[in-house]
Amino acid sequence: MSTTAPPAAFTAFPGATISPNTYVDVAYEDKLALWEEVKADDRFPDYLYGCYECGICVASCPSARFYDFSPRKIAQAAAREDIELIYEQMNDDVWNCSQCFSCNRCPRQNSPGGLITLLREVAVRNGLGTAKEALEGYGRVVYKIMTTGTQISPDMLQPDAFPDWGPDVEKTSDNLDVWRRALPPETLHTTEMSWVVSEETLIELYLIWLHSDVMDMIAEADEGLHMIILDVMEETLEDAGYEI
């Protein structure tokens, strides 16, 4: 039997760290507050039960094959409440995840992918710099989904946006109007949204965004985008007799 004491990192549980602190300029209390916010989410207890450190999640994980990324490390850091490492992951790792939920096959019934959803959400809500960086170039998609109620429009298919999808993208964009009219389902006769969403429906969607703190999250992540979306919503809602 070994008489050597385990490393301090494994004995000082919770709150111990095994990571080099790469974000020294951020106060421990601030990092802890973010972690408390993650834990306060109703879904958290369903996503983390502990961790066997078996690596089954890593074996299933597409992002682990491509990036320096590990769902096992995410689960372990969360289970140990390693505040420094969690903060580092919240900044540097979570945006690599594909959100495929292959890691749900965890024998401990964890959902590392679900934990990542929560970590991302807290990162956005608190306007973390790396969350803003991750969302750069993504604003037009957020704008599309929040203002039209659909995420993908046919007119997004432009050769400069999808050069790697081959020459057919250009063919599609050149013929877009006629090709869309060549679709038998009537709801698909649009080039600006995935399908035609009624005005009444959009108003209801805007009310949901306004009543569920989503607009505050957008403001933290991207102030300019927040203003543009709010403008569109205000105009529609005011025309319909609502006051914001």
Partner 1 sequence: MTTDTTFIPLSEIRKPPVPNPENAPTEDIREVLYELEAAGELIVQRVPEPYIEVMTKYGRTKKIPEQMTWHHKSCGQCGHIPGYSTSIFWLNRQFGMNYVDPYDQTSCTAWNYYASATSNAVAQASVASRNFAAAYATGYFPMIHCGTSYGHYKETRMELAHHKDLRDKVRDIMGKLNKPLVVPEEIVHYSEWIHAMRDRIAQRQTLDFTGIVASIHPACHYYKLVTEDAIYDPDIYGGQRTATVTGIVESLGATVGDYSTFFDCCGFGFRHILVQRDFSRSFATQRKIEIMKEEANPDVVITHDTGCVTTLDKSQFAAKAHQRNVGVPVLSDAQFAALAMGAHPYRVVQLHWHATDYTALLEKMGIDWEKAWAEFEVDLGRLERNEIEFLSWEDADAK
Binding to ligand SF4 (CB under 6 A) within 32-51 occurs at 51
Q: Which of partner 1, ligand SF4, none sits in contact with 112, Cβ below 5 to 8 A by type?
A: ligand SF4
Q: Which of ligand SF4, partner 1, none sits in contact with 153, Cβ below 5 to 8 A by type?
A: partner 1
User: Per rule CB under 6 A, is residue 85 in the interface with ligand SF4?
Assistant: no
> Among residue numbers 10 through 49, which ones bind partner 1 (CB under 8 A)?
41-43, 46
Is residue 57 helix, strand or coil? helix
What minimum distance in Å lies between the beta carbon of 151 and ligand SF4? 19
Residue choice 16, 81, 179, 234 for contact with partner 1 (CB under 8 A): 179
Helix pair 112-125, 28-40: axis angle to 10 deg: 120
**DSSP alpha helix (H) spans, 13-138:** 28-40, 44-47, 56-60, 62-66, 71-80, 83-92, 112-125, 129-135
Nearer to partner 1, 54 or 182 (CB): 182
> Among residue numbers 61 through 90, which ones bind partner 1 (CB under 8 A)?
62-63, 65-67
What minimum distance in Å lies between the beta carbon of 112 and ligand SF4? 5
Q: Which string of x and - marks every residue 96-135 that binds partner 1 (by CB under 8 A)?
A: --xxxxx-xx-----------x--xx-xxx-----x--xx
Decide: 8 and 80 in contact? Cβ < 8 Å: no
> CA dihedral in degrees (225, 231, 232, 234; nearest 10)?
140
Q: Residue 132 is which amino acid?
A: K
How many Å apart are CA 140 and CA 101, to the nearest integer?
26
Q: Which of partner 1, ligand SF4, none sits in contact with 6, Cβ below 5 to 8 A by type?
A: none
If one counts every other C-beta atom within 10 angstroms of the C-beta of residue 204, the result is 10
Q: For 207-240, give the DSSP string.
A: HHHHHTTHHHHHHHH-HHHHHHHHHHHHHHHHHT
How many Å apart are CA 96 and CA 63, to the nearest integer?
6
User: Per rule CB under 6 A, is residue 89 in the interface with ligand SF4?
Assistant: no
> Among residue numbers 50 through 79, which ones bind ligand SF4 (CB under 6 A)?
51-57, 60-63, 71-72, 75
If one counts every other C-beta atom within 10 angstroms of the C-beta of residue 89, the result is 23
Residue carrying the six token digits 């385990």: 6
Q: Which of partner 1, ligand SF4, none sits in contact with 54, Cβ below 5 to 8 A by type?
A: ligand SF4
Options 3-11, 37-45, 92-100, 134-142: segment touching ligand SF4 (CB under 6 A): 92-100
Options 9-17, 71-79, 216-224, 233-241: segment touching partner 1 (CB under 8 A): 216-224
Residue nearest ligand SF4 (C-beta atom): 113
Residue choice 11, 211, 224, 241 for contact with partner 1 (CB under 8 A): 211
Q: What is the chain's alpha carbon radius of gyration, rounded to the nearest angstrom? A: 22
